[in-house]
Structure 1
Amino acid sequence: MISLGISESDIRLEATREDVGLDSIAVVELALVLRREKGLAVTEEELGATATVADVAALVAAR
Structure 2
Amino acid sequence: MYELLRSILVEDLQLTEADVRPDVDREGAGLDSLALVELSMILSKKFAIEISDDEMLEVETVADIARLMEERGPRP
Fold shared per TM-score above 0.5: yes
Contact 2:19–2:30 under 8 Å retained in 1: no
For the pair 1:57 / 2:63, whether they are aligned, the reply is no
My pick for the range that moved more, 19-28 or 6-15, is 6-15
Q: TM-score, normalised by structure 2?
A: 0.77
Match for residue 34 of structure 1 among 16, 26, 43: 43
Which amino acid is 1:12 matched to? R
Show the counterpart of 2:3.
none
RMSD of aligned C-alpha atoms? 1.0
Q: CA deviation at 1:13?
A: 1.0
Show the counterpart of 2:21.
12
Structure 1 moving runs of 4+ over 4 Å: none
CA distance in 2, matches of 1:34, 1:23: 16
Contact 2:40–2:53 under 8 Å retained in 1: yes
For the pair 1:25 / 2:34, whether they are aligned, the reply is yes
| Structure 2 gap ranges (5+) | 1-6
| Structure 1 gap ranges (5+) | none
Aligned residues: 63
CA distance in 1, matches of 2:50, 2:25: 22
Q: TM-score, normalised by structure 1?
A: 0.91
